[in-house]
Amino acid sequence: MDGNGRWAKERGWPRSRGHFEGAKAVRECMQGCLDLGVEFLTLYAFSKDNWQRPKEEVETLMGLLKRFLKEYTREMKQHGVRVQAIGRLWELPKDCQEQLQGAIRTTAHNTRLTTILAINYSGRGEIIDAIKQVLADVEDGRLQKEQLDPEIFQRYLYTSRWPDPDLLIRTSGEMRVSDFLLWQVSYTEFFSLQKYWPDFTREDMRLAVEAYMKRQRRYGGV
């Protein structure tokens, strides 16, 4: 969800205003998914590298996360949205963890759309965490190293319960992966929008899905 800061800067506003408007765009994105029958949506909300930003901006982002979950959890429950999260969640501030777990519990039985928030997430970090667990299981005799293959390894990832993404949307014209779901996007289709994330609408989601549906996915074949 790129471009919050640039969106605000172009309007002469503080970066925090861009993040606030970006949170509103999340609702548009989720509604677009509900309209289209999309079953899984993963939102890169806060990367592990984002801790390097100014302290004030990080605090703003953490505050927005809590505010979003507090204000919209009931609405998500009513619309059939199930909230989940991936990343090193145990490193988040305690109050953020509590708000997040509350949203997960409240929406646990919803089935229309699973919205996965990637928070304090790193694709490289996810793979390292998976490798550590694989090594622990080999050492304890729960896994033979000869058994290890891509399908087995995938069970150790944060996303083991869900399918790999079919489509990756990047706003503000970005064309890189940025440490997001490095293992999972091996055969994912990319769609880039020039507009900044705060301007993202459910219509943009429809256009992205329509573009995806026109592509032929060969998975290395002919």
Q: Among 35, 49, 50, 140, which one carries the catalytic annotation? A: 50
Q: Residue 47: beta bridge partners? A: 121
End-to-end CA distance of the chain: 33
Which H or E element spans position 138? helix 123-139
Among 51, 45, 90, CA closest to 64: 45
Q: Write the secondary structure of 53-98 as one string of H (helix), E (strand) and C (coil).
A: CCHHHHHHHHHHHHHHHHHHHHHHHHCCEEEEEECCHHHCCHHHHH
Pairing type for strands 40-47 and 81-86 reads: unpaired
Active site residue 2: yes
The residue type found at 85 is A
Q: What is the DSSP string of 143-181?
A: S-GGG--HHHHHTTSTTTTSPPPSEEEE-TT--S-TTSS
Which position has the token pair 């930003």?
53
Q: Catalytic site residue 120?
A: no
Catalytic pick among 2, 4, 120, 204: 2
Three-state secondary structure call for residue 121: strand
3-class secondary-structure state, position 131: helix
E strand or H helix that includes residue 137: helix 123-139
Active site residues: 2, 50
